[in-house]
Amino acid sequence: MQPKDTAFQPIPGLKTARFAGMPTFMRLPHLELDNPQADKTDIAIVGVPFDGGTSNRPGPRHGPRQLRDLSTMIRTTHPRSGVNPFKLVNCADLGDAPVNPMDIMESLDLITGFYNQLSDKGIMPLSAGGDHLVSCPILRALGRNGPVGMIHFDAHTDMNDAYFGDSKYTHGTPFRRAIEQGFLDPKRTIQIGIRGVKYETTDFDWALDQGVRIVEIEELFERGVDDVMQEAREIVGDDETYVSFDIDGIDPAYALTPLGRGVSMGVHESQSRIYENQLGRSRAFCGWLYGQMRDAFGDFGVADEETFYRTVNKLHQGFIRTEADEVQYNLHVLLRFDLERALIAGDLAVDDLEAAWNDRFAFDFGFAVEKPSNGMLQDVHWSVGLFGYFATYSLGNVYAGCLNEAMRADLPNLDEALAQGDPSSATEWLNEALQRHGGLREPRATIAHACSGVEPSEGPLLKYLEEKFGEL
């Protein structure tokens, strides 16, 4: 799929180092609203650096700047769906909405004015705050031609009437103001995850009286995410809908922690490896893929499903790690890891690296490297200063072996589904057992938890390789 407009593509991390250049959201182009290119923008990522409405935890004003910096790690394609959103729509960083940190009411007007301009250009905003009060002026702009619906993830309703006497515009009041002022349709509003102790229930009661659907955290746990989200879709329908995530949607005990991020590079790599190898190169999935390719291309030179499976999993001599078969892949990783460790320890001089690589490769693989591009220069890691994590590729393989063993024990009919080209049961298992827990546990504990308490080891991977390639 070709990009809708190449001018709107994120800067690749292998073209410009992630720590270099101007930090924009997701390494997208930065455009001012008066730039003619802005008119071509479908989705604008906008910062709203204002926290003048907060009553306790100041600092969200710095959120947009921090998110821009952290988002430099973005990669374009989702690993499960295969969707690259940047090829479907034009996305750009349109900077920050103007604010006055000394004046709440002027800030609300300034933010509304900025979003009015976005709306006039037909640009859909993706906003990063800021405290939750910024939703109020955003809704004023988005709902000026008629009230919008809302799906809201939070611990609190933010439907209070006032804070500290008669302060009507705070982080706890935005959606009450939006409903009162006619920008938010309460009957098309659902709030999910509401929890915790309360001073009183007036906000809750008022929202229910207006027709707002409130799903407390206990109901969410009892019904499950899929069921609740189906109801949310039914409530908001197909009309314009505002989606809001408050950081309170994460338990405050884990706020400002890595809980919502990947737990480690090794666990992260396990997800790539299990899809590529244990699922994607399985006999069942290869059989389905063979049929798809035959239907699309006719006779493409492979006689049958079994031959295709053996071709996909053929062992071969090769210099390049990324092209290696499953058996030899880890030899490539261990070679580089050992040399890297020697470099860091001062036991190996950089000038001697090429010779050391070639000698080790000949010893491990049994044939000689004929040029540096097939040897020490084949990966970008060292040339861009990336040291210390290369071993996580093999660690990911080990973890994938453990996960595959546990998953197949829980899903005895997995191969039947894969033979139909359907990996959804595997995806659901990985999501439930592993992915949804984020960084809650240490890496080994994360894998052990997914594997019903069995500690990770190399055993399942070695067993998988021996059984698969012993047969082949």
Helix (H) or strand (E) holding 338: helix 326-345
Residue 248: pLDDT band (50, 70, 90) is confident
Antiparallel, parallel or unpaired: β 43-48 and 91-96: parallel
With beta carbons less than 8 A apart as the criterion, state whether 283 and 309 touch: yes
So where are the chain's domains? 1-142, 147-256, 265-471
Residue 104: pLDDT band (50, 70, 90) is very high
CA atoms within 13 A on the CB side of 420: 8
Rounded Cα–Cα distance for residues 330 and 392 (Å): 10
pLDDT(43) > 70: yes
Percent of the chain with pLDDT over 90: 70
pLDDT(404) > 90: yes
With beta carbons less than 8 A apart as the criterion, state whether 51 and 134 touch: no
With beta carbons less than 8 A apart as the criterion, state whether 130 and 64 touch: yes
pLDDT(444) > 90: yes
Token representation of residue 397: 């393989």
CATH for the 147-256 domain, from 3.90.226.10, 3.40.50.300, 3.40.800.10, 3.40.50.20: 3.40.800.10
DSSP codes joined into one string, 401-459 = HHHHHHHHHH-TTHHHHHTTT--HHHHHHHHHHTGGGTTSS-HHHHHHHHTTTPPP-SH
Check residue 52 and report its DSSP letter. T
Antiparallel, parallel or unpaired: β 241-245 and 184-194: unpaired
CATH for the 1-142 domain, from 1.10.1760.20, 3.10.310.30, 3.40.800.10, 3.40.50.2300: 3.40.800.10
Mean pLDDT of the chain: 90
CA angle 281, 283, 287 (to 5 degrees): 100
Q: What is the pLDDT of residue 8?
A: 82
pLDDT(80) > 80: no
Check residue 336 and report its DSSP letter. H
- 34, with CB counted inside 10 A (0-12, 13-18, 19+), is exposed
**3-class DSSP state of 266:** helix
Q: What is the pLDDT of residue 6?
A: 76
Residue 407: pLDDT band (50, 70, 90) is very high
pLDDT(183) > 70: yes
pLDDT(219) > 80: yes
Would you say how long the chain is, in residues? 472
Question: Does the fold of domain 147-256 match that of domain 1-142?
Answer: yes
Average pLDDT rounded to a whole number, residues 394-400: 96
Q: What is the pLDDT of residues 255-297, one digit of tens each?
A: 566 666 678 899 999 999 999 999 999 999 999 999 999 999 9
Architecture of the domain whose range is 265-471: Orthogonal Bundle (1.10)
Rounded Cα–Cα distance for residues 160 and 136 (Å): 13
pLDDT(129) > 80: yes
Q: What is the pLDDT of residue 188?
A: 97
**3-class DSSP state of 191:** strand
DSSP codes joined into one string, 1-45 = ---S-GGGPPPPTTTS-TTSS---GGGPPB--TTSGGGGG-SEEE
Q: What is the pLDDT of residues 312-360, one digit of tens each?
A: 999 999 999 989 999 999 999 999 999 999 999 999 999 999 999 999 9
With beta carbons less than 8 A apart as the criterion, state whether 114 and 97 touch: yes
With beta carbons less than 8 A apart as the criterion, state whether 255 and 247 touch: yes
Q: What is the pLDDT of residue 309?
A: 96
Q: What is the pLDDT of residues 149-176, one digit of tens each?
A: 999 999 999 999 998 888 999 999 999 9
Rounded to two decimals, the pTM is 0.59
- Measured on CA atoms in the order 281, 287, 291, 292, is the torsion positive or negative? negative
Least confident stretch, 72-81, 134-143, 309-318, 415-424: 72-81
CA terminus-to-terminus distance, the chain: 36
Q: Which residue has the higher pLDDT, 58 or 279?
A: 279
Residue 21: pLDDT band (50, 70, 90) is confident
The most confident of 24-38, 55-69, 406-420, by mean pLDDT: 406-420
Report which of 317, 367, 366, 359 is spatially closest to residue 338, judged by C-alpha positions: 359
Which residue is associated with the tokens 């950089």? 350
